Amino acid sequence: MVNNTLVGYNKKELPGKIQVIGIILLLAGLALGVIGFLTDYVRALHNYLVMFMFLISIGVGSLFLITLEYIAGADWSVPFRRIIEFLASVIPVLFILVVPLIINMHDLFHWTHLEAVEHDEILKGKAPYLNSTFFIIRAFVFIAIWFLFYLLITRNSLKQDKNFDQGLTKRNIKLSAIFIPIFAISLTFSAIDWMMSLEPHWFSTIYGVYFFSGTVIAALAAATLVTVLLMENGYLPSIISYDHLYSFGALMFVFVNFWAYIAFSQYMLIWYADLPEETSWFVHRWTGGWEYLSIFLILVQFVVPYALLLSQPAKMDPRRLKIAAIWLLFAHFVDLYWLIIPSLSPKGYTFSWTDFVFPLMLTGLMILLFVFNFKRNNILAVGDPKLERGLNFHL
């Protein structure tokens, strides 16, 4: 623990009650989740998958934001990098979280049913890619890759707190440059594996980019939310100004637009060409009540945040940003729900109470991980050479 008085940073401990809230949420979610598995097994499994994808979004998305900072040479985000690093700490947990999904694969993925594949020319053609062995290998390899980069980058960053070595920044820049192409590929194929292959006949080349856009929104929203909360409660140096918040607001705004752009492109092209092999996926999301969710998704993920963040003062207002961040986390959850659950009941919407269980578990987990990291490390990357520039950032 270094107290760097130069930047006016003194570490303040989090109140214990946050940890308690985290534990309660996690345990409640876990208990309800188990009940869900026992009562409505397949639905609960799909809801669990939604949560799993959400955690990939936050964890890997945060890692992407970190590497983006290094590679773009950005300085404004340096004071918040540690927060984002804490959020990325969910990556190692993915190793455990993926296990229930792998065990119950047979109930998630139609293509694991070998007898069905045998009578299906298209699935037979996909078998070299969509088979259980290769799938499991891919799942673990991707998580392992993310974990490796998470470990290397955060270790360098933490080491820098103590030795102020500029060489570590350089090393992280190199790691980031290598990570970003790997990130693009691994995230794309994760999205294809975990979500697109739920409806194994359907395909869309933009799918990876679509998931990426949501991922970045979720990671940014999580980082913004934590930053604003910490700022309001005096955990960050007072020099941090509205100009910093503006960058968060602007980035969220940009990615909300980017998501809308990608989502519209995908929908418009499939709607326009009207080919039977492609439209099925959207038809499932436009029948029996799902159409309301589809329209709701447009509102929730684009229209509302767009209006919230449009004006320049709104992008700097901590209160507005807090609302927008919570809203966008919710939006990403709806997005993933919309991607996954209609594959389970393509005929129409069905209600299940298990839909609401796993967000509790997810929130509890993230709080605990954050508290755990917060206790052990500085919340400010005190050794980063760009920190001072970052703190003095002005528009």
Closest CB to other proteins among 350 and 392?
A: 392
Closest CB to other proteins among 176 and 354?
A: 176
| Number of residues that make up the chain | 395
Longest Cα–Cα distance in the chain: 70
319: DSSP letter: H
CB of 268 to other proteins, least distance (A): 5
3-state secondary structure of 165: coil
Which residue in the block uniquely carries the two structure tokens 């955060």? 154
Separation between Cα atoms, residue 48 and residue 70, nearest integer Å = 33
Closest CB to other proteins among 48 and 142?
A: 142
CB of 204 to other proteins, least distance (A): 5
Closest CB to other proteins among 30 and 269?
A: 269
Q: Which amino acid is at 82?
A: R
CB 201 within 8 A of CB 116: no
Q: Residue 237: name the closest of 73, 388, 71, 366 by CA.
A: 388
Separation between Cα atoms, residue 345 and residue 304, nearest integer Å = 28
Question: Which residues, 6 or more positions from 38, have their beta carbon under 8 angstroms from its beta carbon?
Answer: none
Separation between Cα atoms, residue 289 and residue 287, nearest integer Å = 6
Give burial (CB, 10 Å; 0-12/13-18/19+) of 106. exposed
Closest CB to other proteins among 166 and 233?
A: 166
Closest CB to other proteins among 93 and 184?
A: 184
CB of 143 to other proteins, least distance (A): 21
CB 200 within 8 A of CB 130: yes
Separation between Cα atoms, residue 247 and residue 244, nearest integer Å = 5
Binding site for other proteins (CB under 8 A): 6, 75, 121-122, 125-126, 129, 164, 166, 169-170, 177, 181, 184-185, 188, 192, 201, 203-209, 250, 257, 261-262, 264-275, 277, 311-312, 384-386, 388-389, 392, 394-395
Closest CB to other proteins among 105 and 260?
A: 260
144, two tokens: 């392992």
3-state secondary structure of 104: coil
CB of 199 to other proteins, least distance (A): 13
CB of 209 to other proteins, least distance (A): 6
CB of 41 to other proteins, least distance (A): 29
CB 181 within 8 A of CB 190: no
CB of 180 to other proteins, least distance (A): 8
Closest CB to other proteins among 125 and 348?
A: 125
Separation between Cα atoms, residue 160 and residue 385, nearest integer Å = 9
Closest CB to other proteins among 62 and 186?
A: 186
CB of 207 to other proteins, least distance (A): 8
CB of 375 to other proteins, least distance (A): 25
